[in-house]
Amino acid sequence: MVFRKPPDGGWGWVIVVVSFFTQFLCYGSPLAVGVLYLEWLDAFGEGKGKTAWVGSLANGIGLLASPVCSICVSSFGARPVAIFSGFMVAGGLMMSSFAPNIYFLYISYGIVVGLGCGLLYTATVTITCHYFDKRRGLALGLISTGSSVGLFIYAALQRELIDLYGLDGCLLIVGALSLNILACGSLMRPLESSDSPPPEKTCADKVPDQYFVYHEKEKTVEENISILEKGYVDEKCANNMPDYKQDSILNKNVLSSINVNEKDISYKKKVVEQTNFCKQLAKRKWQLYLNYWEETVVLFKNKVFSALFVAILLFDIGGFPPSLLMEDVARSANISEDDYHMPLISIIGIMTAVGKLTLGILADFKWVNTLYLYVTTLLMTGVALFAIPFAKSYLTLAMLSGILGFLTGNWSIFPYVTTKTVGIEKLTHAYGILMFFAGLGNSLGPPIVGWFYDWTQEYDTAFYFSGFCVLLGGFLLLLAALPCWNACTNHSSKLPPNTYSYKVASSA
């Protein structure tokens, strides 16, 4: 498929709107799972670490499967993937309403819903990057606010639905709302070039080339049949049989022998054709796999990319648990419900939307280096996590929730940083790898914090650990981005073609 130059507008704004609502509908419940988390703790009576697996899987499994999601989007396109994933998200939420135990939720809510969200996220980000270049930061910021607005609304919506219809009724209604993803996905028109030159060869044209050797063999078979016929005729003439009946019988035998040989040769020819075709297909697939791993090795030769995958892993291990466990943190601090003016998860959600939009706009300014901006958000997140154990009132927890929510908005500039690091042509491949490690962090973070609580009966140690992880990732990425590394790289060796070193001294 040949793409035109990104129009930075036109139908691209429709893509932004439908991608916004797609992320709003699919991520609203998984990101606001902290409300459901409290209900599942009371309903199933399991430990905090064990119950936290449900929400962490829902937010992490889609990212873990990002390489597969990227392949699906590259192979089938954003529109079919979005429509199919809409059925997955809606079906998983509805199935969760019939969960008899926590293990059923691992599959229905954690895996099915999580995988559907991962496919939708990859589809929306990929198609948006195709439609925008100069305004890519703004476009990514706008669509990524969909999940944040979904977190803000679904946190209050799910709590209200639970009060009115119970936990099961809440999940059924939320699942029905997710069916609107199908309408959004149908509007994701691919950016194809109408005046692009035709491909070198179509699939139909390639078939004769693949079977050229078989046509040669077919010609040889026809020659053998002619020789066979000639042999039988010469034999008849040499024997010179006077009897008409014997001559007739001999002709019949010759013809029957020729027909049998023709069928046998035709069958063998088909077997040879199919065998060689399967070999060629397997060889081609194996070459594609080899090319994929070679490109992966080339990506990891870029120091910034290698540091980026470590940073995103540590950031999600430490930075994701507050959005899932902040309500339980407040309950563990014995904060009265009368002091609640707004759910803490809702504060995280609305401030994440503000952060995504603000950081996305900043990323479009030429004087702003997006990599340094991303590193700054990591370091500030680590400091905020260290401050959570000292918050003993609703006001301080609300302030920290707002700060953490705003800094979590760095998700909007993460695709921007990835694109500037590896190039647009390798975005899908690189982004799939990075999202795999992000999903690993999302899956491990909340259970680790929950296990810390089950072990110590307090959250202080857990958030000290979380803050340390995020700070470590930020410092590693900062060291990799220092200008001295670029100088060393330029003097020592050159990067492979189509791989770009992130020049921190220049504007992003």
pLDDT digits (tens, 9 = 90+) for 391-447: 888 888 889 999 998 998 887 788 778 877 777 667 767 777 787 788 788 888 888
299 and 162, same domain (yes or no): no
Specify the pLDDT at position 264.
Answer: 65
The domain boundary residue, chosen from 194, 217, 238: 194
**What value does the mean pLDDT take over residues 262-275?**
66
Q: How far apart are CA 42 and CA 169, in angstroms?
A: 17
In terms of domains, do 82 and 183 share one? yes
Tell me the CATH number at 141: 1.20.1250.20
Shared-domain flag, residues 189 and 285: no
Query: Is residue 5 a contact partner of residue 193, using CB atoms and an 8 Å limit?
Result: no
Rounded mean pLDDT of the chain?
76
73-95 confidence digits (pLDDT tens): 888 888 999 999 999 999 999 99
Question: What are the residues whose beta carbons fall under 8 Å from the beta carbon of 221, sequence distance 6 or more?
Answer: 265, 266, 269
Given a contact cutoff of 8 angstroms between Cβ atoms, the answer to whether 171 and 97 are in contact is yes
- pLDDT at residue number 217: 42
pLDDT tens-digit map of 333-372:
777 766 667 778 888 888 888 888 888 788 878 788 888 8
More confident: 105 or 62: 105
Q: Is residue 331 part of a domain?
A: yes
When pLDDT is cut at 50, 70 and 90, the band that residue 256 belongs to is low
**Residue 335 falls inside a structural domain:** yes
3-state SS string for 246-265: HHHHHHHHHHHHHHHHHHHH
Residue 248 pLDDT? 54
Q: What is the DSSP string of 165-209?
A: HHHHHHHHHHHHHGGGHHHHHHT------TTPPPPS--HHHHHHH
36-73 per-position pLDDT tens digit: 888 898 888 888 888 888 888 888 887 777 778 878 88
**pLDDT tens for residues 120-176?**
988 998 888 888 877 777 787 788 778 878 888 898 899 889 989 999 999 999 999
Sign for the pseudo-dihedral over CA of 339, 340, 345, 350: negative
Q: Over range 369-378, report the average pLDDT.
A: 89
Q: Are residues 65 and 177 in the same domain?
A: yes
**Spatial distance between the Cα atoms of 63 and 119, rounded to a whole number of angstroms:** 9
Q: What is the pLDDT of residue 203?
A: 44
Least confident of 9-13, 109-113, 380-384, 486-490: 486-490
* pLDDT score at 247: 53
Same domain for 450 and 304: yes
User: Which residues, at least 6 apart from 479, have a Cβ–Cβ distance to it below 8 Å?
Assistant: 307, 485
Q: What is the pLDDT at residue 225?
A: 43
Q: How far apart are CA 484 and CA 29, in angstroms?
A: 45
Burial of 472 (0-12, 13-18, 19+ CB in 10 A): middle
Residue 389: helix, strand or coil by DSSP?
A: helix
Do 366 and 477 fall within a single domain? yes
How far apart CA 280 and CA 272 sit, in angstroms, is 12
pLDDT at residue 121 in the model: 86
Which whole number is the average pLDDT over 238-247? 49
pLDDT at 498 over 70: no
d(CA 336, CA 334): 6
Model confidence, pTM:
0.63
Query: Is residue 185 domain-shared with residue 283, that is, in the same domain?
Result: no
The end-to-end CA distance of the chain, in Å, is 28
What integer is the mean pLDDT of 372-384?
91
Tens-digit pLDDT profile for residues 1-12:
444 666 777 788
In percent, how much of the chain has pLDDT > 90? 19
- Looking at 358-459, which runs of residues are DSSP E strands? none
Q: What are phi and psi of 132, to 5 degrees?
A: -130, 145
Residue 404 lies in a domain: yes
> Cα–Cα distance between 66 and 53 in angstroms, integer?
19
Length of the chain: 508
**Region 227-233 average pLDDT:** 45
Residue 357 CA to residue 20 CA, distance in Å, equals 12
pLDDT at 380 over 90: yes
Tell me the residue type at 413.
I
Residue 432 main-chain phi, psi, to 5 deg:
-65, -40
Q: How confident is the model at residue 20 (pLDDT cuts 50, 70, 90)?
A: very high
Mean pLDDT for the stretch of residues 278-307? 72
Mean pLDDT along residues 275-291: 69
Q: Does a structural domain hold residue 227?
A: no
* Type of residue found at 72: C
Q: Which of 112, 15, 110 is nearest to 59 (CA)?
A: 110
Last residue of a domain, one of 194, 227, 253: 194
- Separation of alpha carbons 145 and 151, rounded Å: 10
- Determine, yes or no, domain membership for 498: no
The percent helix, strand, coil of the chain (3-state, each to 5) is 80, 0, 20
Judge whether 184 and 25 are in contact, CB under 8 Å: yes
Report the percent of the chain where pLDDT is more than 70: 73
Write down the pLDDT at residue 84: 94
Domain assignment present for 232: no
178/356: higher pLDDT: 178
Higher pLDDT, 178 or 69: 178
State residue 67's pLDDT score: 72
- What is the number of domains present in the chain? 2
What pLDDT score was predicted for residue 251?
54
Q: What are the angstrom distances between the C-alpha of 371 and each of 145, 468, 469?
A: 20, 20, 19
Instruction: Please state, in angstroms and rounded to a whole number, the distance separating the CA atoms of residues 483 and 371.
Output: 12
> What phi and psi, each to the nearest 5 degrees, are found at residue 165?
-120, 0
- Is 493 a member of any domain? no
| 75 within some domain | yes
Residue (of 411, 353, 391, 400) closest to 155 by Cα position: 353
Residue with more model confidence, 238 or 454: 454
Distance CA 335, CA 329 (A): 9
Q: Which two tokens stand for residue 232?
A: 């039988």
The encoded tokens of residue 184 equal 């959004």
Q: Is the domain of 179 the same as that of 292?
A: no
State which of 148, 167, 194 marks the end of a domain.
194
Higher-pLDDT residue of 227 and 151 is: 151
Domain of residue 176 covers: 1-194
